[in-house]
Amino acid sequence: MAPPEAFSLSQQTPVTCHAFNADRTQLAVSLNSSDVLIYAREGNDWKHIETLSEHDKPVTSIDWAPKSNRIVTSAQDRNAYVWQQTPDPQTGHLIWKPTLVLLRINRAATYVRWSPKEDKFAVASGARAIAICSFDPEGDWWVSRLLKKPIRSTVLSVDWHPNNVLLAAGSADMKARVFSAYIKDVDKRPGPSVWGEKLPFNTICGEYASPAGGWVHDVAFSPSGDVLAFASHDSSITVVYPGGPAVYSIKMSILPLVTLTWTTEESIVAAGHDCQPLVFAGNQGGWEIVGGLDDPQSNKASGGSRSGFGGASPVGRLNSAAFNTFRNAAERGISNVPGSPTASSSNESELYTVHQNTITSVRPYDGVPGNVTRVSTSGVDGKLVVWDVSAVTPISATGLAGKLGKMQLR
Amino acid sequence: MDVNFRKIDIDQYDEDALLDSELYEADPRDPAQALNDVKQKAASVRSSLAKGDIVGALTLVLEDAPYGPNLDDAKNLNLQTLVSILNSTKSSEIPGVIKALSTDAQDTLMKYLYKGMALPGWGDVSGSVLLGWHEKLTEVAGTGCIVRAMTDRRLV
C-alpha cells in the first residue's frame, strides 16, 4: 500500500482540470485561467515547460488522446481547440499547434472528451447541447453535429461508451442520459448492446433522474459499457443496469460527490466536496460504499499539532474552524480580527485529508480499463494527487461510519 | 421556502424557457384528493400520538407528503400536523425517533424543518423546537440530508 503521491501545482489558484499523456511523463492542466499549462515529469516533481494560449476565457476541460497524442481543450469562450505537435518551420522544435473547432454553440463549452478510437470528441456546453466533432479531411477542419433533444439545461459532463458510438451525458436538468453519437462517415455500424440495436444519431438509449432532484455532475460507463454510474448534487451516487433493469442509488450523509471513475467492472472511485476519494463496490445485486483512499485518522495522528476540522466530528463539517469562529463570536463575544491572529490560526482551517478543498476531477492514472490500479485527482486546493486504488481504508476507520447512507433499490 | 427571489420574469422573453414542470414530476394527486389524504392522515396521527407512537405518527405524515404547486391547502395542513408531532415530542426522545425513520422520511422531515423555519410565528411553529430537531437530524443524517432538502424541487 503505497501512500498517495501529492503535488502542489499552485498555491493560490484551483486546478480546473488535468489530463496526462499516454506514458504519464507529461501533464496538461488549467489553473483557472485561459491558458493550458504543460508540465513534464522531472524526478519526483512536475516542471512547467510550455503554455498553450489561444482561448480568451477560462479553460473548462482538457483531454489528451493517448494514441494520437493530440490535446483537445474547451473553454468558456464557446470554443474548442485541437492541439497537435508539429515542427516549427523556423527552429525545427516541436510546438503545439491549435486548430479551431466549429462548435456552433452560443454558451460556454463545459466539458470535452475524446472517443475511444480518437476519431471523434464530444463537447458539452451550456447551450443545452453536446457537439459531436469529427474531422473533415476535405475542409481540413473539425466539424460538429449537435445533440440537442431532449436536453433542457447545461450539460456538465460526458463519457464515451467503449464502442465509440454511445455517449453518456450528465446535465443540470437533473438527468443522466445515454445518446447515440453515431456519425455515418466515421463510424461502422455498432453491434447490438444492452442500450439498443438500431442507433441513428441522437437516439435516446436511456434517461435517468437523480433520486432527490440534484443536477448530475458526472457520468461514467463501466469498462464493459453495460453499466452507467452518475453522481448528483443531492449527495447521491446512482448505478444503472439497463438490462436488469435495476437502478441502485446510494444516498450519502456527506457533501455531494462531483466526479467519479470506474476502476474495475465492479468498483468506482468518486470524490467531491468532502475532499477525499471514496470507493464504491457492487454488482447487479447491489452497491455499497466500502471505504476511502484517504485516511484522515492517521493523517491526524501524524500531524498531531494541527487543529480545526476533525475527521471524528459527529456532525461532519458543522464543527469546522469557520463554524467555531462564528460560534465564538456569537456565544463568547470573541472575534478573530484579521491581522491579530492567535497562535494556532495559521493552520486552523487545515483539513486532515490530503486534498484541502473540493476534488473536481478523478481520472484513471495507471492500468487498463477494467483494471485501473492508480487514479489521479485534482481540485480547488491546487493539488494533484495520485492514489493507489488498492489502498482502501475501511469506512469504519475513516470517521464516516454511520454517516454514509443506505442503499436503495428503485 | 420562498425561492422566487426574482421579481421580473425574464423568461417571458425566452421562447424556449426551462419550466419548473420539466425538472420534476408533479404530485399526481389533484388538490381535493391531496387535501383529503392529508385530513385522513391527521386523524390517524392524532390516534397514534394518543398511544405515544411518535415514530408511527411521523412516518405517516412524512409518507406521500404533498409537494409541488397548487396543493397549498394540503401542504399547510400537513405542516400543521407535523408541527403538532414535533412540539409534543420530549427532546430526549428525538434521537431515537429520528434513527427509526427511513432515509426518505428523514429527507422529507428536513424539508419540513426548513419550511417551518421560513414561516416564523405561523401556527404553532416554534423556532427553538425546529432547531432542536434540526440539530439531532443532522447528527443522524448528516449534511447530505441538508443538501438534498436544498436541491430537491419537490417542495413540501
For chain B, domain boundaries: 28-151
The ranges of chain A with pLDDT < 50 are: 304-317, 338-347, 401-403, 405-410
Say if residues A270 and A278 touch (Cβ distance below 8 Å). Answer: yes
A174: chain B residues, CB-CB within 8 Å: 23-24
Output the pLDDT for position A11: 87
Q: Is A191 exposed, middle or buried (0-12, 13-18, 19+ CB in 10 A)?
A: exposed
Reported as a pLDDT band with limits 50, 70 and 90, residue B3 is low
What is the Cα–Cα distance from B33 to B36, expressed in whole angstroms? Answer: 5
The mean pLDDT value for B41-53 works out to 94
Residue B80 has pLDDT above 80, yes or no: yes
The rounded radius of gyration (Å) of the Cα atoms in chain A is: 22
Give the minimum alpha-carbon distance from B129 to chain A in angstroms, rounded to a whole number: 19
Start-to-end CA distance of chain A, whole Å, equals: 36
Q: What residue of B is the nearest CA neighbor of A152?
A: B18
B151 and A314: CB-CB below 8 Å?
Answer: no
Interface of B with A (CB under 8 A): 18, 22-24, 103-104, 107, 138-139, 141-145, 147-148, 151-154
Output the pLDDT for position A336: 55
Per CATH, the homologous superfamily of domain A5-409 is YVTN repeat-like/Quinoprotein amine dehydrogenase (2.130.10.10)
Output the pLDDT for position A92: 87
Give the minimum alpha-carbon distance from A92 to chain B in angstroms, rounded to a whole number: 51
Q: What residue of B is the nearest CA neighbor of A213?
A: B152
Pairing, β A45-53 against β A59-64: unpaired
Output the pLDDT for position A311: 38
Output the pLDDT for position A398: 52
Task: Count CA atoms closer than 13 A to A247's CA, side-chain side.
Answer: 13
A213 and B18: CB-CB below 8 Å?
Answer: no
A215 and B144: CB-CB below 8 Å?
Answer: no
A316 and B143: CB-CB below 8 Å?
Answer: yes
A330: chain B residues, CB-CB within 8 Å: none
B147 and A318: CB-CB below 8 Å?
Answer: no
- Of all residues in chain B, what percent carry a pLDDT higher than 90? 73
C-alpha distances in Å from residue B30, one per residue of A323, B34, B75, B80: 44, 6, 12, 20
Domain B28-151 has CATH 1.10.1240.10: no
Give the minimum alpha-carbon distance from B140 to chain A in angstroms, rounded to a whole number: 7
A216: chain B residues, CB-CB within 8 Å: none
Size of interface A-B (CB pairs under 8 A): 75
Task: Count CA atoms closer than 13 A to B2's CA, side-chain side.
Answer: 5
Output the pLDDT for position A335: 62
What is the Cα–Cα distance from A39 to A35, expressed in whole angstroms? Answer: 13
Output the pLDDT for position A205: 95
A255 and B107: CB-CB below 8 Å?
Answer: no
A252: chain B residues, CB-CB within 8 Å: 142, 144
Start-to-end CA distance of chain B, whole Å, equals: 9
Output the pLDDT for position A237: 97
A213 and B23: CB-CB below 8 Å?
Answer: yes
Q: Which of residues 305-324 of A touch B (CB under 8 A)?
A: 314-318
Output the pLDDT for position A281: 96
Output the pLDDT for position A314: 41
Q: Is the peptide bond before B95 cis (omega within 30 degrees of 0)?
A: no
Give alpha helix (H) positions in A196-320: 296-302
Residue B13 has pLDDT above 60, yes or no: yes
User: pTM for the complete prediction?
Assistant: 0.88
A235 and B143: CB-CB below 8 Å?
Answer: yes
Output the pLDDT for position A1: 57
